[in-house]
Each structure stands twice: as C-alpha cells, then as structure tokens.
Structure 1
C-alpha cells in the first residue's frame, strides 16, 4: 500500500483492497473516497468489496468515479461535497493516485492558490504543474 499525504486531512493511494483496510483504519483515516470506476482494468478490486471492508472497520466510504478525459463539473462538485461532508482524514484512491490528486487540486486551487497546491502535490510525488498552469490562465 502506497499512502501519500497531500495535507494533514487528505491522502491519496493507488488501488486498495479489502485486505488493506485494517491498516488504513489503524493509520487514523476516518473515510475512504474512491475515484476509480469499476471495470477499468482486468482484475481490479470492485468498489463494493472495498466499501464493505471499510464500513466493517468503521470508516465512512463514498465513490465519485471518473475516467481520464471524463471529468465534468458535476463530478468536481460531487467530489467537493464529499470532502466537505466526510470525516477527516480522508484517503482517496484510484488506479495510481494521480486522478485523486488532480481533482483535489482543481477543488482546492481557489482556496490555497497555485504555490500551495504545487507544493503539496509535489511533496507527495505528483506533478500538477500542467493543471495549475491551465488554472492560472483561467484566472
């Protein structure tokens, strides 16, 4: 399991399994947020299996799935709502963690600004410079 802290309240990870959930709970996470659609890859652990294990461990769980190139304003708003409502800290997962980091950057850009988004994501090993440059141009 590769947990990468973006902030004190939000971390990302590549795909998790039900067997990972006890360690996630022991690490202090209170919620799991899935950003990966089922069936994206052969052999992928289904969301329901992770969700059942997370609930059994006392964690809140939600799914806001989207595929690369399929990010809509509705998905961004749903992700933002999930972050606002879920107990913290939250662990979000997708195939590699990049998708979770990208949508977090979109949601937090206006509040934190470019420099803080880039610092937080870079420290976690993700390059969001292209996305932030696009967001900077929009402003």
Structure 2
C-alpha cells in the first residue's frame, strides 16, 4: 500500500483493497473516500461494499463518491469539498491511479 500526502490532513492513493484498510488505520488515517465507480476496472476491482466493510472494521469512516475522471462535474467537486470539511482527519481518497482524487482535491481547495 502506498499513498501520497497532499497536505498535513489529506493524502491520495491508487486502487486499494479491503486488506489495506487496517494498514491505513495503523498509519493514522481516520477517513477514506473511494472515488472509483464499482466495475470500472472489471471483475478484479474490489466492490465498494467490501471496501466499506473492511474500513469500518478497521475503525475508519468510509464514503463512496464515484466520479467519472474524464468528466468531473462541479457537483463532484462540491461534494468532495464538503467531505474534506466534515470527515475526520486525516483523510485519504483513492481511485484507479490517484489522479482523479488528486484533481478533485485541487479543484475543491482552490
């Protein structure tokens, strides 16, 4: 599991799996945002429901906010900004490569 800090309270990561949730909690994260739509990567991609169950079992808050990376909408940015304000910190967002979550963060924190 690798992640990239973008601030003292926020980081991004590429695709994670349920087994990564305990490691995120051990690393000090308190919240996880999943920006990858279920099924986007085919049958090998973990389902959000499985990710949520593992995150909650590890004591993490979990939010599923699927976003089309090729067509980020203002409503996506607004929702992400609200999550950054309300979720326990530090938080981590993930998608396929981390680029979509990075872009959402950049747009939400302008």
Q: Which is higher, the Rg of structure 1 or of structure 2?
A: 1
More helix per residue: 1 or 2? 1
Q: Which runs of 4+ in 1 moved over 2 A?
A: none
Map Cα deviations across residues 53-87 of structure 1 (whole Å, 9 max, x no partner). 00111111111111122211111111111111100
Q: 1:91 maps to which residue?
A: 92
Say if 2:37 is the partner of 1:40. no
Q: CA deviation at 1:41?
A: 0.9
Aligned length in residues: 109
Q: CA deviation at 1:108?
A: 1.0
Q: What is the SS of the residue equivalent to 1:91?
A: strand
Highest RCO, 1 vs 2 (Cα 8 Å, sep ≥ 6): 2
Q: What CA distance in whole angstroms lies between the structure 2 residues aligned with 1:32 and 1:68?
A: 18
Residue segments in structure 2 that go unaligned for 5+ positions in a row: none
Q: What is the SS of the residue equivalent to 2:72?
A: coil
Residue segments in structure 1 that go unaligned for 5+ positions in a row: 110-139
Q: What CA distance in whole angstroms lies between the structure 1 residues aligned with 2:58 and 2:48?
A: 15
* TM-score calculated relative to the size of structure 2: 0.95
